[in-house]
Each structure stands twice: as structure tokens, then as C-alpha cells.
Amino acid sequence: MKPLTMYQTAALMLCFTAAHIFTLRPEGANLVVCIGAETAAAGIVFVIAIIINSLPALHGWAGKAVSALAGTFFLAAFLFILIGYCEEVQFSFPEFYSLPMTAAVLAAATVYCASMGLSGCVRSACAAVVMTVIVLAVMSGGAASGFDPDRLNLAVSDREGQFTRQLISALARSWELPLLVLLMRRTGRPVRAAALYALGRAALTAGILTVCAGVLGSVGQERQPVMMLASFAKTVIVERFDALMLLFWTLCTLLAGAGLLWAAWHCLQGVMGKAERRKA
Amino acid sequence: MAEKKNDRYAVAGTVNETLDRLKKLLGGSADLNTADAEINGVRCAVATIEGMASAQLLSELVLRPMAELAGSEEQTPQSLFSLISERSLLTADRTLTSSLEQAAELMFSGFAAVFVEGSQQAVLFGVQGYEKKAVNEPTGEHNVMGSQEGFTEVLRTNISLVRRRMKTPSLRLEQLRAGSRTGTDICLAYLAGRADSALVTELKRRIKGLELDTVLTSGMLKPYLEDGEGVRLFSEIGSTERPDVVCARLNEGRAVLLIDGSPFALICPSLFVESFRTVDDACSKPYFVLLMRVVRFIAFFFAVMFPGIYVAAANFHPEALSLKLLLNLAASESSTPYSLFVEMLIITVLLELMKEASVRMPKAVGSAISIAGGLVIGDAAVKSGIISSPLLIIVGLTATASFVIPGLSQQTSVLRLVYILAGGTSGFFGIAVVSAMIMCNAAATGMGGIPYTAPLLPFSRKGAADILSRRSPKALEQSHTVISELSEREGVSR
Amino acid sequence: MKRVYFFLTAMLLIFTSAGSRDTVASLDRAMVHAVGIDISDEGYSVTLQIFHPDGEGSDTKLDPGKSNMLVVSAPAATVERAVSLCEDKLGEFLFIGHVQVIVLGRGVEPKDPEGLFSYFLKSRESYLGVQLASTDGTARELLEAELTEGAVAAQNIVSVIERSRENSDSVACDLLSVLNSESGDYAMPRLKLEGSSEDKKKEQRLLSDGAQVFTDGRRSFTLDVGECAALAHLLGEEHRSVVELETDSDTAGFTLKSEGTEVSVLKQGDRLLCRFEVELSVQRDQSTAVRLGGELPLSELEKKLTSESQALSKRLYTEKTDLLNLTRRIKAKYPQVWLDCSESADTLLSLTYVEIKVSCVEK
């Protein structure tokens, strides 16, 4: 297996972050508190990944058992992400997309992308993440006229409680942690890859939520702030960004799902004891 | 060349017997020319294929010198044979063989076979005189400041065009053959010390392992040389009609295949971003090159994705379009009988139809297509309300853009339709799904460890300079881009 | 299983429509570009201004010289129901993604903006930056006016609002700022029609007439042009304004441009001081300089502008209306103080006093 570069590993992981950001719901929590919680979650994920990666690899029956467990987890994570995406699409664009068909199409496309191999997925992930960041930056620029730093406040009575709840929620949504550990074993510089991912996750989440908080204020706390920002941002060429957000959200979700499917397949191969096929 | 062991078609001891065997081998083919004569008491015969060997060259280079060399003394068959095969240089292209099958193959390539009574070998002299096209401008890859020469259908001419530009001993030209019935000559060219030897070996192995009976064009070889099971959207093997492009690619460490009978050389491996480079880039200022590359990338986007995105935005997400544009669109579409999606499909299919017609039609009726396409379909269709004028502008722009990147014309045509179908039925969700699948497909394509999407994915700082611009002359002097720098480490598995 | 089958399967599934159950293509829907809400006997009356091309050209029906609109109206108990009735009257589904302006007629008060605008907030098509405006007459009258500037009449309304704001003759207010208002206080541009619809010889013109202030969602008072300018200075929005100054000999007009307003919130004992330092640049032109005999009367200008700003601030204090975003600034700087006073915004405002300093520089 060709070792991945740290950028490729981080990019595939950031697809999870990007996919999650678009549907993030603070459930009434202060957005500045959310920023803190998400940043802390990124740091915790990094530390956990490093610890697990430093553990020795298991062989024999123990190894197969772990592979089986991991494979099941990856499949379950894929299904959760798939269903979660379909439900959110229904919520955001109810007139157009029916849940069963959306799920079927996304599943088929994800399987196809996964069948292209890990290298195809990670390279595509690099492109997807770069494009997503650029579009988010342009969107933020389009909404910048409404930005007011005074909306970034911590006037919350239950600051610690909100922080804890958001942190737990962020960690619970970190499906990509086992995949990160798996990919770290295939990356040339695993620690740097994990650090790059954690930094990227923190920066991306903090950046976009800061803009959301500064533009939307308390309005963004009750809804999906990023989608709301997308429907407010306006530029000369693109009048509104929610359609573009749908595009990049779908792209990132698809690639994230492909990564999970590849991981599940890899674990299955580990259970079956099949060696990796090398190209002739 | 390995000799085939078959006594029935071996060169016989006598000229008559040899000629009989030859005629039997060729089934009494009407284009076999034979002539026999006695030179200084020794019976000889010459066999050629009509139209392949030049009678004038044969007479001037072989027959007359043979007679002159023989002199007035009586010769024995062995001495005469030795004289023409070992003790003289009548032509530089000379082969000995004892197999008539081999002799026949060479005769089909314009050689003349000389048989000497008593000798069980034939001497073949290269006196090609078949009809061939002159070196002309390439049909597709036009440019302003570069060479105006393109490859022809004759392998030897193409080899000379390359050799003339690469006057280095490290240029290797290896002769291969493919096609059991056509015996098509293939020349594998590469620069020793720069090209990846593993890639060269692999290419040779794949060509030698071909079981096709006919190889008539370079395109027929492509599927057998590509990695993967032929389900890739893009090909990691490029093609070009230009000798200067071939030399540039050879200098970058790639291998090139020249195929007899095809003016298109195959470049292995090829990258996606190279479709956006032209010969003129090397002759232009870097800032102009930057502008033109950006224009080409935009053209590709317009050609492939724009119609689909337009249909998706107008049908599913019209709030993303500006108000004035949307008002004009709504006003135009209100009178048309079909939905925007159906109109876009119709006009795209019409566009492909006209493109195909313009390629296949006889030149004499060329102007009729322009009239039919421009006036009838374009103007009349809008005036009669079948399609709307904004749509015509979009499709015109798309069509023009698709001609900017001729190397990706197949993918452009198909993917455009795919995007329109995806965007028209599923909006931006469909666009995203198709984009992801195409990106994964392209990113997984590669040859010899070199990803097709390099140096973009994976990103390479050194190669990145060549994506949007060209490297400065000073940088080029110091180091040259070699394709193997983009290669990933070994080992691939799925 | 061959990879190509997955590709084909996905394509087939997309092509058999991943979505559209009974969707109507957006281009076949009626495009609403302005909405008016009035009070009616049943509750509300909603007027929709819908795009209807009036042109007769063969290539395009959009004639910019005409109003290109169709107006439909319906009353109901809620705005949502009224819009639904409008849809029934039209016989087409509505597309509200490009609504340019929502006009609130006489008596309409967004005490609960989430409720009043729920129809727009629920739809993902809606633009949160849609302009809100108020009128003393009925919104229906305003929307029925045949305004021919711009491709559609609503564009004319929006451009009047934007020009007035830029010239500091009025304010701008969008849906997001109303929803975001901490204290429920905001100002909307006030529009009126000049000319009668019966008089066909004279085209109706739309004019801006200061601003309508809403305190806690209720209509309270209006701001005139001068007060709107003072408000713009204090909020530090980018704008231009013309101020008239009486000199010994003449009344001269001076063009001012905003160079920014620095706002600081300080704690002074048990009170809060909010300091506004407004910087404006005065455009020097030769004719004024000649008339005034040389130097610009910057100190007089500063004095006048300061007194106008202070008068506005005092009025806002009296009316207990926070248009200067004091609540938001205090929340950002002293969140605990805000939390302690969060039960009553009036308490917070009563603890805050405002200091204003205007400085003018010549440019």
C-alpha cells in the first residue's frame, strides 16, 4: 500500500468536519461557546488518536476480533452518516429530495467512489476540502457587511454547562476518529497528519462559526447557522450560497462515506486474513 | 528478427523452386512482381510487391551495382551471394533471411528480395517507394508560433521528424510489431537515463503480449496499454500529431509510441493538466501564459459543467441567480413549449449532431452545414419559440469552449450530457454526486505510479508552477521537469 | 461486481429522479418580488407584487420601460394563510426566493417578528437580507403603483431605500436585523407615494420620508431627515450627508462623509458610559470657500452636529428606544452586567449614559 501523505489523510478527515459543519445545530447554545467546545474537541480527538496509534498492533485472533469490531463500527458509522445526511437534506430542501431515493443514490455513489480505492478518495478529498474552504471564504466575504464584532459575546448564564454539553456533542459526532487511527498507520508522518487534521478542524469550525456569530448573532443559535449564513451572503456573481453549500456538503459527505466504506472493506479483509493485492 | 522454422516456406536451393514457394505462400497474389536474370552465369531472381518498392531505386541501388560489382568474371552462386550480402554495401537497409514468410513481411514493407541460385538465403534490400503523404500541418493541434509540421502515416518519416529534433545519442528507438495479420510496425521512443526503465519494460511487455490480429490506428492500442479495466473516464495515455510535442514529452522522461499507418503518436504517461498546455506557451511571456491557462481551465468548466449547473440552478435553486438574469430567463422560457431541461438536452444533442456531421461530411457541402446550423437551427428555432435565446447563448458558449481543449473532446461531450441529466433531474445534489464520482475516477487513474491528476492531486510544488504558467527560462536552464518526480512510491492495492 | 455497474446504477438512479416528487419547475412558478402586509378585518391582508412580463418582443417579453408586474391581494387571520389564498387566486405556486422588499402598512407591528414573518422564515428560499419598509398608508397602495424604473417595480423601491440610506435621509432595515434586535427596537425606512394613481398624465413617484421607529416591536415615533443623519453618524455606517449651516452672510451646504465612529463602553461606578467619537470629513469646494471667505467653519459644524446627535440621543432615551445598539455593546463588553439586567432592557438603558463627540476634518 502506498503511504499517504499527511495532507491526504488530513483532507479526508476534514471532509467529515466540513460535512458536519453545514448541519451543525447549536440547540440554543451561544456560538462563541460552541467555537470553544469544537476547538477543544479537535484537541481531544488529536490526543486520543495519538494514544491509540502508539499502541502495538494486535495479531492473530485478537487482531481479527478488533478488525471485526472496527469493520462493524465503520459500517454503522457509514449508515448513520447516510441517514443523517438524507434527513438533513429533507429538512433543508424538502420539496425536491425524497429520502429513499436520496439514500439509494448516495449509497451507490459512495460504494463507487470507495471501489476506486483509497488513493482516489484521498486525492479527491484534497480537492474537495480546498474548494469547500474557498467557497466558505467567499461566502464569508459576501456576508462580511453584516459582521458586527459586538455580537461575539459570552453573555450566557450557564457558560460551563453549555460548553460541556457542546463538547460532549462534538466528541460524540467524531465518527472519523477510528478512521483517523487506521489511516495514521498508512501515513508517512502520522503525528503530523493528526496534528494537521486537528488544526484544520479547529480553524475551519472556529472560522466559519465566528462569521456566523458575528453576522447572525442570537438568530443563528436556534437554527443551522452555516446554512442560514449561506442564505444571507450575497456576492456579485452568486446571489445566494445555499445551493453551493448543498453541493459541497454532498461532496464532502460522499467522500467521507467512501473513506468509511473503504475502512470497513479493509477490516473485512483483515478478518478474512487476505493479504493486500499489489499491482503487477 | 527471429526466423520461423517451416521448411515448406524456406528459401529453396533453386530460384524456380523458391519463386514457386513464394507464389504459393502469397496465394498467387496479383501484386507480387518477380523477375529473373542471369548475372555472370548465375541465375538470380528479384521479388517485390507492386507499389511498395521503387523500381528506380531497385535498379539504381541494387540491380545495376550488382551487375557492375560482379564484373566480367564468371561467378559461382556462393561468390555472387557473398558479394551482395557481405562484400558490398548496396543499401544501408539490408537483411538476410532463409524464411520466405519473413521475406514476404519485409517485401510488404517495401523491401526487394533477391534470390541467388544455389543459396538457401535471400538478401532483402530496403528500396521503399510506396505512395505516402507529404509532411503537412497537423489537422488538429494548431498553433501560432510553433512548428507547422505534423506526423504522417509513415513510421519512418515520423521517426526522422523526431530524430531531426532530438540529436542526442540517448534517444532510443526500439522496433516492435503488433497485429498478427497487419504486422504493424511500432517504434518505442524514449530517452535513456531519463525515462523510467520499468515503464519502458512494461510497455514492451504489453505490446508483445497483444493478441490482436489487426492494429490499424494508434487508438486501437490504447486500451491495452492503459491500467485498469477500461472503466476510466480519462486516459493516462495521450496522443499528439506534433513532433515538437513528442520531443518535449521525451525530454520529460516519458515514452512515446509511433505507429505505422497512424499520424498520432501515443505518449505514456499523460497528465490531465497537459491537455491545457500548448506549444505556443513555450514561446509566450509567462503572464500571457498564465492568462491563457486560466482561460482554458474556465473553458473546460464551461464546456463540461456549466450547462448542467445552469439547468440545476434555474430549475431547483433559482434564488442563486441574480434577479435580472432570472427575470429575463423566466420571460424567455414562458413562451417555449418544453422545460429548460428538455430544451438543453435537445440543443446539446443537436450540437453533437452538427459536430459529427461537420467531421464526416464531404468538403463540397461544408457550407450547407454552416447555413443549416446557424440560420435554421439557431435563429429560426428561437424566433419560432421552440427554444429560448438565453439558452442559445449558453450552448454557443459551451460549444466554443469545448473546442478550446481538443484533447478532452470525448470526455467533454459525454460528461456534459451527464451533468445536464444530473442537474436537470436532481439539482445540485446530482451535480455533487456526479462530480465526486468523476473526481474519484480521475484521481484513481494513473500509469507507472504517476497519478493522472498530478501535479494537482497529489500537489507537487515543483510541478505546480507548470499548471498555471510556465517556468522561467532560468529555472528551465537549471533543472528540467522529469515525469518520474511526480511518481508515488511503489505498491498499490485496493 | 464490476465497478462500472455501480457507476451505471448510480447514474440510473439519478436519472430516474433522486428527488422531484411533484415538484413544479421554479421557472413555472410565480415570482414574487415585493410583499405588502396590512391590517384587515380578518387579521392581515397580504399583497403580492408578482413578475409579469409586459413586453411584446419576439425575443424577450421583458420590457424595462414597463412595470412588468401583477398585483394580487388576499385577507386572512395569519400572513401564512393570506399568502396561501393569494396562491389560490393566482393559480400558480409562488417563488419567494427573490422578494426584494416587505412593506408594512399602517398599523402593522412586528411585536413577534418570528410569528409575523414565519412564512418567509420557514421557506429555505427566503433571503434574510430582504429589505423591510414601512408606510403610513396601505402597503397595497404602494405596491400597486406603476413604477417604471428598474426591470420590476420592486427594484425601484429598493433603490429608493438604498439611495436614501446612502444620503443619510433615511435608514435601511432588513429581516435579519429585525430578528437580531436584542431589545426589539429598530427603525425602518418610511415610504410614501407622490402623485395619484387616477391622474394618468403624471407618473407616481416613490419617496422616502425619514424613518419609522419601532420600540419593542410597536410603532412609536418617526425620525426626520436630520435625525436619520444623526443616527447614521452615531452608528458609524458608511454614508454621505449634506448639512446646512447658517453663517453671517448666507446659508451654506456642506457635504460630509463618514470616516468612522469609535464607540467605547466604560464602567463608571455603578453606571455605564457609552462614548461615541464620530469622525466626519468635510468636502472642500472652491465656491463655498469663496463665499465664506477662506476657512471652513469646522468648529461651527462640529457644534451643530454634536448638538443634533445629542438631541437624538436624548430623544431615544426619553422614548426608551435603543437604536444605538447600546444593549449589544454592553453585552459584548460587560456580559455579566447584561446578564444581571437581562430581565429588563429599560433598567440597562437607565444605567447607561451617552457621551458624544463629533469631529470634522477637511478633505
User: Residues A126, B454: contact at Cβ < 8 Å?
Assistant: no
Q: What is the mean pLDDT of chain A?
A: 88
CATH number corresponding to A6-151+159-271: 1.20.1740.10
- Rg of chain B over CA atoms, in angstroms? 29
Q: How far is B463 from chain A (nearest CA, A)?
A: 16
Q: In terms of Cα–Cα distance, which of B347, B311, B318 is closest to B423?
A: B311
Greatest C-alpha distance within chain B: 101
- Tell me how far the alpha carbon of residue B156 is from its chain's centroid: 15
Q: How far is A198 from chain C (nearest CA, A)?
A: 29
Residues 338-397 of B with CB under 8 A from C: 339-341, 382-383, 389
Grid coordinates belonging to B28 = 498467387
Contact B425 C152 (CB under 8 A): no
Contact A102 C19 (CB under 8 A): yes
Residues 220-249 of A with CB under 8 A from C: 227-228, 231-232, 234, 240, 242
- What is d(CA A74, CA A178) in angstroms, rounded to the nearest whole number? 8
Q: In terms of Cα–Cα distance, which of B16, B43, B61 is closest to B116?
A: B43
Contact A152 C332 (CB under 8 A): yes
Q: How far is C16 from chain B (nearest CA, A)?
A: 8
User: Residues C54, C63: contact at Cβ < 8 Å?
Assistant: yes
Neighbours of B474 (CB within 10 A): 7
- What is d(CA C95, CA A194) in angstroms, rounded to the nearest whole number? 46
Residue boundaries of the structural domains of chain B: 7-126, 155-281, 305-443
Q: Kindly list the residues from chain B whose CB atom is less than 8 angstroms away from the CB atom of residue C65.
A: none
Q: Which residues of B208-323 form beta strands (DSSP E)?
A: 238-240, 255-259, 265-268
ipTM of the complex: 0.92
Comparing alpha-carbon positions, the chain C residue that sits nearest to B341 is C25
Each residue of C141-171: pLDDT tens digit? 888 887 666 556 778 888 889 898 888 889 9
CB-based contact, C137 to chain B, within 8 Å: no
Q: In terms of Cα–Cα distance, which of B200, B151, B152 is closest to B176?
A: B200
Higher-scoring residue by pLDDT: A130, A224: A130
Burial of B370 (0-12, 13-18, 19+ CB in 10 A): exposed
* pLDDT score of B231: 66
Which helix (H) or strand (E) segment is A272 a member of?
helix A242-272
CB-based contact, B437 to chain A, within 8 Å: yes
Mean pLDDT of C131-139: 91
**From A2, A3, A254, residue closest to B436, measured CB to CB:** A254
- Strand B111-116, strand B42-49: pairing: antiparallel
**From A5, A7, A96, residue closest to B427, measured CB to CB:** A96
CB-based contact, C27 to chain B, within 8 Å: yes
**From A2, A109, A119, residue closest to B436, measured CB to CB:** A109
Burial of B325 (0-12, 13-18, 19+ CB in 10 A): middle
Phi-psi region of C150 (alpha: psi -120 to 50; beta: other; left: phi over 0): left
CB-based contact, B317 to chain A, within 8 Å: yes
* pLDDT score of B72: 63
Provide CB contacts within 8 A for A72, sequence distance 6+: none
Q: In terms of Cα–Cα distance, which of B264, B164, B255 is closest to B216?
A: B264
CB-based contact, A18 to chain B, within 8 Å: no
User: Residues C161, C189: contact at Cβ < 8 Å?
Assistant: yes
CB-based contact, A156 to chain C, within 8 Å: yes
Comparing alpha-carbon positions, the chain C residue that sits nearest to A95 is C23
Q: Which residues of C19-130 form beta strands (DSSP E)?
A: 30-40, 43-51, 69-76, 94-95, 101-104
Contact C335 A155 (CB under 8 A): yes
Each residue of B66-82: pLDDT tens digit? 777 766 666 788 888 88
- Strand B184-191, strand B255-259: pairing: antiparallel
Residue boundaries of the structural domains of chain C: 27-223, 236-363
Each residue of C275-312: pLDDT tens digit? 999 998 887 766 666 666 666 778 888 888 899 999 99
Question: How many alpha carbons fall within 13 Å on the CB side of residue B115?
Answer: 29
CB-based contact, A219 to chain C, within 8 Å: yes
Each residue of C269-284: pLDDT tens digit? 888 899 999 998 887 7
* pLDDT score of A263: 94
Each residue of C318-347: pLDDT tens digit? 888 889 988 888 888 888 888 888 776 677
Q: Kindly list the residues from chain A whose CB atom is less than 8 angstroms away from the CB atom of residue B490.
A: 2
Q: Does domain C236-363 have CATH number 3.40.50.720?
A: no
The sheet carrying B184-191 orders its strands as B171-178, B184-191, B255-259, B265-268, B238-240
CB-based contact, B417 to chain C, within 8 Å: no
Each residue of C55-70: pLDDT tens digit? 555 445 556 566 667 8
Provide CB contacts within 8 A for C137, sequence distance 6+: C105, C106, C192, C193
* pLDDT score of A277: 45
Is pLDDT at C133 greater than 80 in this prediction? Answer: yes
Q: In terms of Cα–Cα distance, which of B422, B344, B457 is closest to C13?
A: B422
Q: What is the pLDDT along chain B (494 residues), one digit of tens a residue?
A: 444 455 678 888 888 889 999 998 888 888 898 888 887 778 889 898 988 888 888 888 887 877 777 666 667 888 888 877 877 777 778 888 989 988 998 898 889 898 988 888 898 988 888 877 788 888 888 878 888 889 999 898 999 999 999 898 889 999 998 888 888 999 999 999 889 888 999 999 999 988 888 888 888 888 888 876 656 888 889 999 999 999 999 999 999 999 999 999 999 999 998 899 888 888 888 888 889 999 999 999 999 999 999 999 888 888 888 888 888 888 887 777 888 888 899 888 888 888 888 888 777 666 666 666 666 666 777 777 777 778 888 888 898 898 888 889 899 999 999 999 999 888 899 999 999 999 999 998 888 888 899 888 888 877 777 777 777 777 777 777 778 777 774 443 33
Q: Kindly list the residues from chain C whose CB atom is less than 8 angstroms away from the CB atom of residue B330.
A: 27, 31, 51, 53
Is pLDDT at A94 greater than 90 in this prediction? Answer: no
Each residue of C201-255: pLDDT tens digit? 556 778 888 999 999 888 999 999 989 999 998 998 878 888 887 766 667 778 8
Residue boundaries of the structural domains of chain A: 6-151+159-271
CB-based contact, C53 to chain B, within 8 Å: yes
**From A98, A155, A240, residue closest to C21, measured CB to CB:** A98
Q: Kindly list the residues from chain C whose CB atom is less than 8 angstroms away from the CB atom of residue A102.
A: 18-19
**From A97, A112, A217, residue closest to C180, measured CB to CB:** A217
Each residue of C71-110: pLDDT tens digit? 999 999 999 999 999 999 988 888 888 899 999 999 898 8
Contact C60 B328 (CB under 8 A): yes
**From A121, A246, A278, residue closest to B440, measured CB to CB:** A121
- What is d(CA C316, CA C227) in angstroms, rounded to the nearest whole number? 11
Each residue of B7-49: pLDDT tens digit? 678 888 888 889 999 998 888 888 898 888 887 778 889 898 9
* DSSP 8-state symbol, C147: -
Dihedral of alpha carbons B276, B277, B280, B285, sign: positive
Grid coordinates belonging to C220 = 412609536
Contact B428 A243 (CB under 8 A): yes
Neighbours of A213 (CB within 10 A): 27
**From B321, B437, B444, residue closest to A119, measured CB to CB:** B444
Contact A232 C128 (CB under 8 A): yes
Contact C6 A149 (CB under 8 A): no
* DSSP 8-state symbol, C201: T
Higher-scoring residue by pLDDT: B227, A74: A74
Q: H/E/C letters for each residue in B366-406? A: HHHHHHHHHHHHHHHHHHCCCCCHHHHHHHHHHHHHHCCCH
**From B323, B340, B382, residue closest to C98, measured CB to CB:** B323
- What is d(CA A33, CA A26) in angstroms, rounded to the nearest whole number? 9
**What is the pTM (predicted TM-score) of this model?**
0.86
* pLDDT score of B373: 67
Q: In terms of Cα–Cα distance, which of C125, C130, C119, C139 is closest to C40?
A: C139
Q: Kindly list the residues from chain B whose CB atom is less than 8 angstroms away from the CB atom of residue C68.
A: 327
Return the residue in B327, B389, B439 with the most chain C beta carbons within 10 A, the one to mutate for interface testing. Answer: B327
Provide CB contacts within 8 A for A40, sequence distance 6+: A163, A167, A170
- Of the pLDDT bands very low, low, confident and very high (cuts 50, 70, 90), residue A118 is very high
Mean pLDDT of A33-45: 93
* pLDDT score of B325: 83
Contact C20 B425 (CB under 8 A): yes
**From C9, C18, C126, residue closest to A97, measured CB to CB:** C18
Is pLDDT at C23 greater than 60 in this prediction? Answer: no
The subunits that touch chain B, with at least 3 C-beta pairs less than 8 Å apart, are A, C
Contact B327 C59 (CB under 8 A): no
Return the residue in A31, A89, A113, A153 with the most chain C beta carbons within 10 A, the one to mutate for interface testing. Answer: A153
Contact A101 C18 (CB under 8 A): yes
Q: What residue has cell string 414573518?
A: C117
Return the residue in C6, C11, C14, C16 with the most chain B beta carbons within 10 A, the one to mutate for interface testing. Answer: C14
* pLDDT score of B173: 92
Burial of A79 (0-12, 13-18, 19+ CB in 10 A): middle
Comparing alpha-carbon positions, the chain B residue that sits nearest to A121 is B440
- Tell me how far the alpha carbon of residue A44 is from its chain's centroid: 15
- Tell me how far the alpha carbon of residue A12 is from its chain's centroid: 8
Report in angstroms the alpha-carbon separations of B194 from B246, B253, B255, B471, B473: 15, 5, 10, 20, 21
Contact C129 A234 (CB under 8 A): yes
* Residues forming beta bridges with residue A4, ordered by sequence position: A187
Contact A106 B321 (CB under 8 A): no
